[in-house]
């Protein structure tokens, strides 16, 4: 009985809270882009001195290798990557990119580049098999794939069945025949 009586009080509190949320009117921008509206704005605020300088990205691998980028550096790298996607790969807003990479800094660069350009970023785990990759490439009708030298042979094995795929970017120290090397292009 005690709980049953309290239940009505909780319900009225929830409804009241819900009503207060619905009454709040936030002006939404007509267009929002995380890369330009947030990342580039934080870069500007840091340059103006109105926001303290903090790393935008800090990555450390198992060997202790470290990559640390400021907001300005991440913005610059993502703009370069956006140019690679749009100019070198010929992608446009709404096109799809499949990224099958382990956790490497280039994954984040390409994610922000896709946000910046309106290209749809489809992440995939590096544990995918060739059959899994084929399914994702066919179902998404992706025009570009980004992977590393370890997974490139699996992609190559399914290429004949991927009629929409036009560009292949590889994240590797060395070039690979038939692939654009992202590190070299950046």
In order, the DSSP letters of 19-87 are HHHHH--PPPPSS--HIIIIIHHHHHHHHHTSS----SEEEE-TT--EEEE-HHHHHHHHHHHHHIIII
Give pLDDT tens digits for 65-103. Answer: 999 999 999 999 999 999 999 999 999 999 999 999 999
The predicted pLDDT at position 53 comes to 84
Distance CA 10, CA 19 (A): 14
Residue 16 has pLDDT above 80, yes or no: no
pLDDT band, very low/low/confident/very high, at 27 (cuts 50, 70, 90): confident
Give pLDDT tens digits for 43-64. Answer: 999 999 898 888 999 999 999 9
Residue 135 has pLDDT above 60, yes or no: yes
What the chain holds in terms of domains, given with CATH numbers, is 31-184 (3.40.50.980)
Give pLDDT tens digits for 94-113. Answer: 999 999 999 999 999 999 99
Distance CA 102, CA 13 (A): 46
Residue 4 has pLDDT above 60, yes or no: no
* Separation of CA 18 from chain center: 33
pTM: 0.81
Token output for 96? 């799809």
pLDDT band, very low/low/confident/very high, at 1 (cuts 50, 70, 90): very low
């Amino acid at each position: 009985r005690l709980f049953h009586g309290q239940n009505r009080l909780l319900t009225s509190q929830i409804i009241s809270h819900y009503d207060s949320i619905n009454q709040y009117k936030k002006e939404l921008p007509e267009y929002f882009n995380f890369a330009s509206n947030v990342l580039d704005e934080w870069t500007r605020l840091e340059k103006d001195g109105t926001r303290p300088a903090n790393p935008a990205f800090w990555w450390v691998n198992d060997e202790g290798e470290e990559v640390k980028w400021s907001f300005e550096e991440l913005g610059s790298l993502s703009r370069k990557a956006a140019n690679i996607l749009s100019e070198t790969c010929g992608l446009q807003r709404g096109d799809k990119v499949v990224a099958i990479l382990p956790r490497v800094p280039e994954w984040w660069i390409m994610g922000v580049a896709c946000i910046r350009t309106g290209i749809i970023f489809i992440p995939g785990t590096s544990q995918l098999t060739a059959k899994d990759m084929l399914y994702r490439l066919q179902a998404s009708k992706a025009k570009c794939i980004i992977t590393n030298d370890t997974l490139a042979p699996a992609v190559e094995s399914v290429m004949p069945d991927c009629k929409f795929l036009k560009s292949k970017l590889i994240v590797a120290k060395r070039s690979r025949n038939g692939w654009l090397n992202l590190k070299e292009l950046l």
